[in-house]
Amino acid sequence: MRQMAAKPTHDAPASPPKSPWTPREAELLAITLRLLQQHGYEGLTVEAVATEAKSSKATVYKRWPTKADLVVAAFIEGTRILAIAPRTGSLRQDLLTVGASACQDLREHAGTMRAVLTEVARNPAMNAAIQDEFVRPRKLIMDEILAAAIQRGEVDATVVINDELFDLLPAYLTFRALVPGDPPTAETVRMLVDDVLMPALTVNRSASAITVRADSH
């Protein structure tokens, strides 16, 4: 459980996070991501990446000492541009935007995500890296969205939010994307936002409004 605090926000669109890689490194990561989608983690080899990139295994290993390091870097780079908090000026629209971005992300990278999730279950170091570089930045996006909503008065500043609520939107969309034949849709996102998240996040505001209306009679 945690209590959100308002902090200054701006409605200007956020800039995509800058890539930490050189153009050549980014090319190697893009090739890794494509081969990972095609062959899965077990079928991916550093030799195949090097061959496709017209490089050498020594060059790849110099930058990424293990295959797991290479895969994590490729996965994070491939989804980097989507790890940006929307600034629409509305809590509901921010959540819908996050959901739409997650659906896009999952459509493009469902195969990669299956491969990565399979491996992180048995690779503690890889799991830690994914938690730090993929999961945590997306939780910070929710923090930023809710802080902005508090500042605008859409969410009560004293609201205490269970961490499980933060995970609900991306976790359910990921589950749906990974189940063959049942991908999440725009209606899935709308239902989660309108029927679950908005009522839970604005419950105190709704109760206050009901009290005010009752007192006015």
CATH architecture, domain defined by 86-205: Orthogonal Bundle (1.10)
Query: Which helix (H) or strand (E) segment is 144 a member of?
Result: helix 136-152
Q: Write down the CATH number for the domain with range 22-78.
A: 1.10.10.60
Burial of 54 (0-12, 13-18, 19+ CB in 10 A): exposed
The closest of 46, 47, 55 to 24, measured between CA atoms, is 55
51-108 tens-digit pLDDT = 999 999 999 999 999 999 999 999 989 887 666 889 999 999 999 999 999 898 888 8
**Domain residue ranges of the chain, discontinuous segments joined by +:** 22-78, 86-205
pLDDT of residue 81: 63
- CA distance between the termini of the chain: 36
What DSSP state is assigned to residue 82? G
Topology match between the domains 22-78 and 86-205:
no
DSSP 3-state assignment of 1?
coil
Distances (CA, A) of 137 to 37, 49, 75, 92: 23, 28, 14, 20
pTM (predicted TM-score) = 0.77
Q: Kindly indicate the confidence band of residue 8, based on its pLDDT and cuts at 50, 70 and 90.
A: very low
The mean pLDDT value for 174-200 works out to 92
